[in-house]
Chain A
Amino acid sequence: MSGKDRIEIFPSRMAQTIMKARLKGAQTGRNLLKKKSDALTLRFRQILKKIIETKMLMGEVMREAAFSLAEAKFTAGDFSTTVIQNVNKAQVKIRAKKDNVAGVTLPVFEHYHEGTDSYELTGLARGGEQLAKLKRNYAKAVELLVELASLQTSFVTLDEAIKITNRRVNAIEHVIIPRIERTLAYIITELDEREREEFYRLKKIQEKKKIIKEKFEKELEQRRAAGEVMEPANLLAEEKDEDLLFE
C-alpha cells in the first residue's frame, strides 16, 4: 500500500491547530467504534450459544413430529395427497420486527395465527386423534423453527456488522491516525525551520549593516585627518559669543 503519505497542507500555525483537532477527533472515533465492536461481539457470542442449543432441541422436536406423522399415516392411511390439495390459505404467518443492538438493527421474526384451520375435517373418517396430535406437534415445531430462524438472521446480520466495524477501526488506527501524525510532524519541522531561517536572515542583515557602518566610519576618519572635512558649526561648542550690535 502506498498510502503512507501525509496530508498536503501549507504549514502554518493554524494548520497545526487544525491537524491537532483532527487527530483528537480520529482517536475519539476509534475508541467509540472499538466499544461498539465489543458490544456487538458480546451479543454475537450469546446468540451463537443460543443457536446451538435451539438446533439441538429442534432436532429432537422434529424427530418426535416425524414419528407422530408415521403413527398418523399408519392409522389414517395416506392423507398426503388430500392435504396438498387442500392448501389455500396459511394460518401461521410471520412478521419481521426490528430489534436494535448497539446501533445495529436486527430483523426478528414473530409468528402469528390468522384465520381458521383448513384441516379441521381431515381425519374425520379415521385416525382423528393421531392427526390432532400430529397437528399440535408440527405447530410446536413451526414455532421453534421461527425462533431459530430469527436467531439465524440476527447471527448473519451481526456477523456482517462486526466485520464492517472492525474494518473501520483498523482503517482509522493504521491509516488515518498515522497520516495525521506525520502531517503534524511535518508542519512542526517546517515551522521550526522557517523560524531558524528568519533568525539566520536577521543575523546576516545585522552583520552586513555593521560592516557598512564600520566602513563608513573609517572613511570619515580618513577624510577628517586629511582636513577636508569641515565640521559644521556647533552652536553648543563656542565659548565666545559676540554680541550682535545694531549699527
Chain B
Amino acid sequence: MAGRGKLIAVIGDTVTGFLLGGIGELNKNRHSIFLVVEKDTTINEIEDTFRQFLNRDDIGIILINQYIAEMVRHTLDAHQRSIPAVLEIPSKEHPYDAAKDSILRRAKGMFMAEDLR
C-alpha cells in the first residue's frame, strides 16, 4: 500500500500554477488529472469530471476552487468516503470563506467563531 503513489487532481481556474508545481499527469488513455474551469464551462461538465475523478482509484486528493465547489455543492456533500480527499482552495477573485467549507460545516457546532479569526 505504501508503494503505490496516488495523484493530486485539480479543478479550477488557475491550474497553471499547480501544474508548474509538478502534479500534472496524463495517463495512457489521455485522461488528464485536471480541469480548467472558465466562464463558459457548464456545471454538468464540472460534475462529470468530478465524478470521474472520484471513480478513479489512482487519485488521492482533489483540489477544487471554493466558488466552483459552491456550484456542485450537492455532489460534494454526497461524497462520504475518506479517499479521495476533497479540499476546497480559494481562488484569485474569491478569498477563502470558512463558513462555506463542506468539511467544516460538519463540525459546525463544535468550535466557536473566535477560532476562525
Give A contacts to B, CB under 8 Å: 45, 48-49, 51-52, 55-56, 58-59, 62-63, 65-66, 69-70, 79-80, 83-84, 87-98, 107, 109, 112-114, 117-119, 122, 131, 134-135, 137-139, 141-142, 145-146, 148-150, 152-153, 155-157, 159
B82 at the A interface (CB under 8 A): yes
B56 at the A interface (CB under 8 A): no
Q: How far is the CA of A63 from the CA of B94 in the complex (A)?
A: 10
* Residues 16-38 of B at the A interface (beta carbon under 8 Å): 16-26, 32-34, 36
Q: Which residues of B contact A58 (CB under 8 A)?
A: 89, 96
Q: With A90-B24, A94-B61, A98-B1 given, is the CB distance from A66 to B6 under 8 Å?
A: no
In contact, A90 and B83 (Cβ under 8 angstroms): no
The smallest C-beta distance from A71 to any residue of chain B, in angstroms, reads 11
Q: Which residues of A contact B60 (CB under 8 A)?
A: 94, 96, 109, 149
Q: How far is the CA of A45 from the CA of B83 in the complex (A)?
A: 21
Q: Given B90, B106, B115, which contacts A59 in the complex, CB threshold below 8 Å? A: B90
Give how many B residues have a beta carbon under 8 Å from the other chain's beta carbons.
50
Q: With A55-B101, A139-B21, A153-B83 given, is the CB distance from A79 to B26 under 8 Å?
A: no
The smallest C-beta distance from B50 to any residue of chain A, in angstroms, reads 16
Residue of A nearest to B62 (CB): A149
Instruction: Give the dominant DSSP class at B's interface.
Output: mixed
In contact, B6 and A95 (Cβ under 8 angstroms): yes
**13 CB < 8 A contacts A-B:** A59-B90, A66-B14, A90-B24, A90-B25, A95-B6, A107-B82, A109-B60, A134-B17, A145-B8, A148-B87, A152-B87, A155-B103, A157-B82
In contact, B110 and A48 (Cβ under 8 angstroms): yes
Q: Which residues of A contact B32 (CB under 8 A)?
A: 87
Extra pairs beyond A83-B20, A118-B22 (6, CB < 8 Å): A49-B115, A62-B89, A69-B16, A139-B22, A149-B60, A157-B82
Q: How far is the CA of A206 from the CA of B42 in the complex (A)?
A: 97
Q: With A55-B98, A80-B16, A134-B17 given, is the CB distance from A159 to B106 under 8 Å?
A: yes
B57-86 near A? 1/0 per residue, CB < 8 Å = 000110100000000000000001011011
In contact, B6 and A142 (Cβ under 8 angstroms): no
Q: Which residues of A contact B115 (CB under 8 A)?
A: 49, 52
Q: How far is the CA of A109 from the CA of B85 in the complex (A)?
A: 10
Q: Which residues of B contact A95 (CB under 8 A)?
A: 2-6
Q: Which residues of A contact B90 (CB under 8 A)?
A: 59, 62-63
Q: Given B22, B80, B91, which contacts A92 in the complex, CB threshold below 8 Å? A: B22
In contact, B23 and A92 (Cβ under 8 angstroms): yes
Residue of B nearest to A142 (CB): B21
In contact, B19 and A87 (Cβ under 8 angstroms): yes
In contact, A69 and B17 (Cβ under 8 angstroms): yes
In contact, B16 and A145 (Cβ under 8 angstroms): no
* Residues 34-62 of B at the A interface (beta carbon under 8 Å): 34, 36, 60-61
In contact, B23 and A90 (Cβ under 8 angstroms): yes
Residue of B nearest to A45 (CB): B110
The smallest C-beta distance from A25 to any residue of chain B, in angstroms, reads 33
The smallest C-beta distance from A155 to any residue of chain B, in angstroms, reads 7
The smallest C-beta distance from B97 to any residue of chain A, in angstroms, reads 9
The smallest C-beta distance from A150 to any residue of chain B, in angstroms, reads 8
Q: How far is the CA of A87 from the CA of B35 in the complex (A)?
A: 13
